Amino acid sequence: MSQSGQMWGGRFQGRLDPMFAEFQKSLPQDHLLAFADLETNLAWSEALAQAGVFTDEELEQVRDAIDDLAEHWAEHGVPTDDPAEDVHSLVERELGARCGDLAKRIHTGRSRNDQVATDLRLYLRERILGLLEGIQDVCAALVGKAQAHFDAPMPGYTHLQRAQPITIGHHALAHAEPLARDRERLLDAYHRMNQCPLGSGALAGTAVPVDREALAEQLDFAGGPCRNSLDATASRDHLCEILFACAMTMTHLSRLAEDYIFFASQEAGFLRFGDAVSTGSSLMPQKRNPDAMELVRGKAGRVQGALMALLSTVKGLPMAYNRDLQTDKETLLPAMLETEACLHVAAMAVQNAEFDTVRCAAEAGKGYQNATDLADLLVGAGVPFRDAHGIVGRAVNRAVELGVELQNLPAAEQSALLPQLQCDLHRELSVRAVLDRRAATGGTAPARVKAEVERWQHVLTDWATGFEDDDGDDDGACGDEACDDPACDDDGHRHS
């Protein structure tokens, strides 16, 4: 350390103003990178040994110090209120207490710029896996709902107006589909960022003859080393991409939350949340509030705001590193953790939501939701659809005047309004008939929804394959050498 007491203080004699020293600290945020920083230090130390900077004996001392510190932090936690200004200086000081001046020599040929860029990518890989598991949890809960209610009718809405009957299962899978796309976005982001910045130095590359390809392989960066040292230390587009995927995921969770909040209202009365995810009122004893989903909906705005904040931070930065980038972690990391938490809470809320299938079915038959089918029946009788649309509109108006549904129009009214039809409207306009007609791919027919549930069950099994390896062997591998899941390596086995 210099007289200034800082890693960077070689030319400085005085100390920082205490207020500015506290202002510029990043340890409260970047302590999350502590174990990634230890991994980076070990890999760089081994690269230095191969380059002749460390002897084998010195490398072993460094390795022992890193292992000891990792064990200590695993047991006691990483301090967040330490005087160290950032996680890198904390690690260097703690390693120094264990292996002396060797800790200072680890920084040979390296900058905190490429160090933090590497730490962050290592940490993000783990957090992305957590997000993928969270998405899997929500989709599994939705598929479970769809399996239980693949043929249970409920009203479908556009403009929050009842439109056509659907099934509860069809609605559940409608929320699973965008989450599957969010998963793909995260996978894409994972693969694009999976390159190793270590060895890029501050901006111009390292002068130490390290083998960067071997370094990338050791740290499991499948994309090899970053190809340009300026870009490696200065670019944060991979953070923006991950944060966009989080913001989009939260948007989809918020839409799911809004639907379920409305369904749980007394005005709809379609479902009831269990005690595990509901709270009451401190004043009104009768209240059962859908708090879990309301909180998920509320937190979506914070994650969306984080995306805008990060984009605003990076939009005007020149090459290469600028201290503005220190703030990327305090923007990104809480948003990722919040997204992951919201995924698990949303899954819990779906699992603890019980649909009133009797009420849902009854309401699916109200409000002239079968009007389109009546128009289709007229088309089948030879009436052009545009004319049929007008005929049914007049029939709806008359039904409203009489206070009946279309299938319950008196026989005389049917004859006057719909002379082209000789069929049994009670049967042809029943909720079951309306649902069964929509059997094309993507439709809400119970048979189609059941088939989609089966397809989704296979999808969930494929997703889970890369994450299940509880007993430590490789039976959690998917066995597909072409697998693109980050939880599997090139041989189809889980990363350690």
**Which pLDDT tens digit goes with each residue over 108-130?**
999 999 999 999 999 999 999 99
Q: What pLDDT, on a 0 to 100 scale, did the predictor assign at position 465? A: 85
Residues 84 and 197 in one domain: no
Q: What pLDDT, on a 0 to 100 scale, did the predictor assign at position 440? A: 97
> 273: which strand partners?
353
pLDDT band at 22 (very low <50, low <70, confident <90, very high): confident
Residues 388 and 419 in one domain: yes
Q: Give me the catalytic one of 76, 159, 282, 496.
A: 159
Q: Is residue 162 a part of any domain in this protein?
A: no
pLDDT exceeding 90 applies to what percent of the chain?
88
Per-residue pLDDT tens digits for 288-335: 999 999 999 999 999 999 999 999 999 999 999 999 999 999 999 999
Whether 460 shows a pLDDT value over 50: the answer reads yes
Q: Is residue 8 a part of any domain in this protein?
A: no
Q: Is residue 83 a part of any domain in this protein?
A: yes
Whether 489 shows a pLDDT value over 60: the answer reads no
Nearest by Cα to 163 from 355, 361, 372 = 372
333, 131 contact by CB (below 8 A): no
Mean pLDDT in the chain?
92
**Mean pLDDT of all residues in 61-83:** 97
Least confident piece of the model among 200-209, 252-261, 292-301, 460-469: 460-469
Residues 246 and 339 in one domain: yes
Residues 57 and 145 in one domain: no
Residues 306 and 199 in one domain: yes
Residues 379 and 337 in one domain: no
Number of domains in the chain: 3
Q: Is residue 478 a part of any domain in this protein?
A: no
Whether 105 shows a pLDDT value over 70: the answer reads yes
Last residue of a domain, one of 381, 403, 429: 429
Q: Is residue 455 a part of any domain in this protein?
A: no
**Mean pLDDT of all residues in 418-435:** 96
**Mean pLDDT of all residues in 334-339:** 98
Q: What pLDDT, on a 0 to 100 scale, did the predictor assign at position 477? A: 41
Q: Is residue 489 a part of any domain in this protein?
A: no
Sequence-separated (6 or more) residues with CB below 8 Å from residue 257:
293, 294, 296, 297, 346, 349
Which domain CATH number covers 27?
1.10.275.10
Q: Is residue 310 a part of any domain in this protein?
A: yes
**Mean pLDDT of all residues in 407-433:** 96
Q: What pLDDT, on a 0 to 100 scale, did the predictor assign at position 444? A: 98
Biggest alpha carbon distance in the chain? 101
Whether 476 shows a pLDDT value over 70: the answer reads no
Q: What pLDDT, on a 0 to 100 scale, did the predictor assign at position 16? A: 80
Q: What pLDDT, on a 0 to 100 scale, did the predictor assign at position 430? A: 98
Active site residue 281: yes
Q: What pLDDT, on a 0 to 100 scale, did the predictor assign at position 490? A: 42
Last residue of a domain, one of 387, 412, 429: 429
Q: Is residue 486 a part of any domain in this protein?
A: no
Q: What pLDDT, on a 0 to 100 scale, did the predictor assign at position 471? A: 35
Whether 20 shows a pLDDT value over 70: the answer reads yes
Residues 101 and 223 in one domain: no
**Mean pLDDT of all residues in 86-102:** 97
CA distances 294 to 173, 262, 263, 290, 346, Å, are: 21, 11, 13, 6, 10
**Mean pLDDT of all residues in 173-193:** 97
Residues 182 and 103 in one domain: no
pLDDT band at 492 (very low <50, low <70, confident <90, very high): very low
Residues 400 and 339 in one domain: no
For residue 55, give both structure tokens. Answer: 């002897």
Which domain CATH number covers 207?
1.20.200.10
pLDDT band at 13 (very low <50, low <70, confident <90, very high): low
**Mean pLDDT of all residues in 156-170:** 97
pLDDT band at 133 (very low <50, low <70, confident <90, very high): very high
Whether 3 shows a pLDDT value over 80: the answer reads no
Residues 43 and 121 in one domain: no
Residues 221 and 295 in one domain: yes
Domain extent at residue 140? 113-150+168-356
Nearest by Cα to 139 from 344, 295, 326, 364 = 344
Active site residue 159: yes
Residues 102 and 248 in one domain: no
Last residue of a domain, one of 331, 356, 381: 356
Q: Give me the catalytic one of 2, 265, 281, 312.
A: 281
